């Protein structure tokens, strides 16, 4: 279906934010769900691209969907060139999102992994659930929405590979430090929500196993259809495979096999 771009904003050199008018007849997207978009006629690129729901809010009653993406390939280049009023071919929302049912939520992101976590932070502000955010990225230009997360009441810690923002190093380092300072009782109350590159998610899986903390991860394998038709977006799970588009993209960290390639 064709939706209309409402606003477009370059956040940093490589990252763009789009706001899209959300039609009244569509189900309201849930945090952690995704949409499938395309920008060109013809067959190159062939597939739609999955983008996580970055934010959803109501402006005078009308739904507004936000998409945050890194400009990396033909589709995201096209998307970055869309101006307000332009149509966007979009299907969704698809997939299963985050279950936000803990007394305290910690968000852990690597680079564009912040995209689906931001909507969680907005909802947490509404419900008053305490929130911490650990943002990691290559450099300062890959740390996104930091101020808005603070505005939502999140306590934010930042780590970059080159030290150009926050501490130098991996985002899992401040995370592990913070976890190690928790009492057993606090630890039982915390739920981690993580999204980022596979290596980061795997590290998070190891850390939560050590510290006995619950966690959900949002995964991002290559996806052709987004709706369970192609069976292409499998992730390894104990005893078999799970489809990121249907069973995920959000999984309980324990439901995936982190030792598989």
What does the binding site for another protein look like in residue numbers (CB under 8 A)?
Answer: 38, 43-48, 91, 221-222, 224-225, 227-236, 240-241, 260-261
**Least distance from C-beta 52 to another protein, angstroms?**
19
**Least distance from C-beta 97 to another protein, angstroms?**
18
Q: Indicate the residue among 46 and 184 with the shorter CB distance to another protein.
A: 46
Phi, psi of 257 (to 5 degrees): -95, 105
CA distances from 233 to 77, 175, 222 (A): 23, 29, 6
Neighbours of 61 (CB within 10 A): 6
Q: Whole-angstrom Cα distance, residue 22 to residue 63? A: 5
Q: Is 12 exposed, middle or buried (0-12, 13-18, 19+ CB in 10 A)?
A: middle
Q: Whole-angstrom Cα distance, residue 232 to residue 220? A: 12
**Least distance from C-beta 48 to another protein, angstroms?**
6
Q: Indicate the residue among 73 and 163 with the shorter CB distance to another protein.
A: 73
Q: Indicate the residue among 30 and 143 with the shorter CB distance to another protein.
A: 30
Q: Which helix (H) or strand (E) holds 238?
A: none
Give alpha helix (H) positions in 27-171. Answer: 74-80, 114-127, 146-151
Q: Indicate the residue among 18 and 245 with the shorter CB distance to another protein.
A: 245
**Least distance from C-beta 57 to another protein, angstroms?**
25
**Least distance from C-beta 106 to another protein, angstroms?**
28
Q: Indicate the residue among 161 and 173 with the shorter CB distance to another protein.
A: 161
């Amino acid at each position: 279906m064709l939706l209309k771009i409402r606003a477009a904003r370059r956040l940093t050199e490589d990252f763009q934010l789009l706001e899209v008018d959300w039609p009244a007849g569509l189900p309201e997207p849930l945090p952690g769900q995704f949409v499938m978009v395309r920008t060109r006629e013809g067959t190159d690129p062939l597939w739609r691209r999955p983008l996580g729901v970055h934010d959803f809010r109501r402006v005078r009653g009308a739904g507004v969907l936000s998409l945050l993406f890194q400009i990396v390939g033909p589709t995201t280049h096209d998307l970055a060139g869309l101006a307000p009023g332009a149509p966007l071919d979009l299907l969704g929302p698809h997939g299963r999102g985050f279950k936000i049912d803990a007394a305290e939520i910690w968000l852990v992101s690597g680079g564009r992994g912040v995209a689906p976590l931001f909507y969680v932070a907005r909802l947490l502000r509404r419900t008053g659930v305490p929130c911490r955010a650990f943002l990691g990225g290559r450099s300062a230009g890959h740390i996104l929405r930091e101020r808005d997360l603070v505005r939502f009441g999140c306590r934010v810690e930042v780590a970059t590979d080159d030290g150009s923002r926050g501490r130098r190093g991996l985002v899992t380092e401040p995370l592990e430090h913070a976890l190690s300072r928790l009492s057993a009782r606090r630890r039982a109350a915390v739920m981690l929500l993580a999204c980022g590159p596979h290596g980061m998610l795997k590290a998070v899986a190891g850390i939560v196993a050590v510290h006995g903390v619950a966690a959900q991860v949002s995964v991002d394998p290559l996806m052709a259809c987004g709706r369970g038709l192609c069976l292409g977006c499998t992730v390894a799970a104990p005893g078999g495979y799970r489809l990121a588009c249907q069973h995920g993209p959000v999984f309980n960290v324990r439901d995936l096999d982190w030792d598989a390639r």
